[in-house]
């Protein structure tokens, strides 16, 4: 079955997975005029969607048959395969599957190859938004896979977010970018909570720190661009702040944490990493030069 602008099935979609994100996806499709079929292991999660007009499939087979476009948003690719293990996978022939579950680049490539062998088409994507932002201009979705399949699915994807970015035909590309983003966010979240812990230990307010950090957003954005360019070009000289200077500051942060009687896990990790870079001879270079140490793990 081909999906085209003249196909009567053009605005039919099945959503697998009704967690917070999956439910948000289904609501966004309904709001944009799609006929939505849903499937979830726990059928009670479908109640609010059924009241909006969604149809509940009794099993994965019925969910596959219901629509030419299948959107999967479960916890990971392993759960996806578990779902399809109880289905007649020959039904995936001529279906377009948009996989929005979390996974590694290797899993994305494997999934794409598996769907192609079954005669279907796959796009692997990642959502850079909170569930409440799905369907709004605040949501960003990255997609990789066949460009022609992406172009046919663009209207449906646009219903889910204001920014839908095609990042390449290599099926794992979106997962690569998501993993890189998650690495950044994890560091940011841990760093913020340690900062809040410092404030708390000194009798100051965590929300005051939150406002301070928000005011630095433009500076941090510029620094991200600068670091990306430095790493891409391999140019780490002429720094405004060196690895050596920051290593000293981080050792003081370890000292402060111990003096305050709070966890020193984060500053100890960071100080040790920067010290490794200093010991390797990169002390006079930009912060981004710590990637030289990370490229060669022990």
Same-domain check for residues 155 and 293: no
> Is 13 within 8 Å of 145 (Cβ atoms)?
no
Q: Do 247 and 167 share a structural domain?
A: no
Residues 257 and 145 grouped into a single domain: no
Cβ atoms of 98 and 125 closer than 8 Å:
yes
Residue 240's CATH number: 1.10.1040.10
Please give the share of the chain, as a percent, with pLDDT higher than 70: 97
Query: For residue 129, is it within any domain?
Result: yes
Residues 145 and 76 in one domain: yes
Position 9 scores a pLDDT of 63
Q: In Å, how far are 63, 94, 133, 168, 217 from 155, measured between CA atoms?
A: 21, 19, 18, 18, 32
52-105: pLDDT as tens digits: 999 999 999 999 999 999 999 999 999 999 999 999 999 999 999 999 999 999
Residue 23's domain is classified under what CATH number? 3.40.50.720
Residues 24 and 136 in one domain: yes
pLDDT of residue 8: 52
The answer to the question of residue 118 being in a domain is: yes
| Average confidence (pLDDT) per 10 residues, the chain, 298 residues | 44 97 97 97 95 97 98 96 95 98 96 97 97 96 97 96 96 97 96 98 97 96 96 96 97 97 97 97 97 89
Give, as one character, the DSSP assignment of residue 125. Answer: E
Residue 20 shares a structural domain with residue 162 = yes
Same domain, 266 and 154: no
Considering the domain architecture, whether residues 26 and 99 belong to the same structural domain is answered as yes
State the Rg of the chain over Cα.
23
Is residue 155 located within the same domain as residue 32? yes
For 110, the domain range is 12-176
The pair of three-digit structure tokens given for residue 266, joined into one six-digit string: 């984060």
Report the domain count for the chain: 2
Res 10: pLDDT? 75
Residues 140 and 251 in one domain: no
Terminus-to-terminus CA distance in the chain, angstroms? 52
140-145/96-99 β-pairing:
unpaired
In a domain, 62, yes or no: yes
């Amino acid at each position: 079955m081909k999906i085209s602008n003249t196909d009567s099935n053009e605005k039919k979609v099945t959503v697998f997975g009704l967690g917070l994100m999956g439910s948000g996806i289904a609501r966004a499709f309904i709001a944009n005029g799609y006929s939505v079929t849903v499937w979830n292991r726990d059928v009670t999660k479908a109640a609010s969607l059924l009241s909006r007009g969604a149809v509940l499939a009794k099993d994965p087979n019925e969910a596959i048959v219901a629509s030419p476009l299948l959107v999967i948003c479960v916890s990971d690719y392993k759960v996806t395969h578990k779902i399809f293990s109880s289905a007649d996978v020959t039904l995936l022939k001529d279906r377009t599957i948009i996989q929005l579950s979390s996974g590694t680049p290797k899993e994305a490539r494997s999934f794409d190859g598996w769907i192609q062998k079954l005669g279907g088409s796959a796009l692997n994507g990642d959502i850079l938004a909170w569930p409440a932002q799905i369907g709004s201009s605040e949501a960003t979705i990255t997609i990789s896979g066949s460009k022609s399949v992406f172009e046919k699915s663009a209207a449906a994807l646009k219903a889910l977010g204001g920014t839908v970015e095609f990042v390449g035909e290599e099926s794992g590309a979106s997962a690569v970018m998501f993993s890189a983003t998650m690495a950044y966010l994890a560091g940011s979240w841990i760093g913020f909570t340690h900062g809040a812990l410092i404030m708390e230990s000194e009798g100051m307010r965590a929300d005051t720190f939150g406002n301070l950090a928000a005011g630095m957003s433009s500076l941090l954005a510029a620094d991200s661009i600068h670091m990306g360019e430095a790493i891409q070009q391999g140019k780490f000289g002429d720094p405004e702040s060196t690895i050596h200077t920051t290593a000293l500051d981080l050792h003081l942060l370890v000292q402060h944490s111990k003096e305050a009687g709070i966890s020193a896990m984060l500053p100890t990790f960071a100080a040790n990493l920067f010290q490794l870079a200093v010991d390797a001879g990169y002390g006079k270079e930009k912060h981004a030069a710590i990637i030289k140490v990370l490229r060669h793990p022990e």
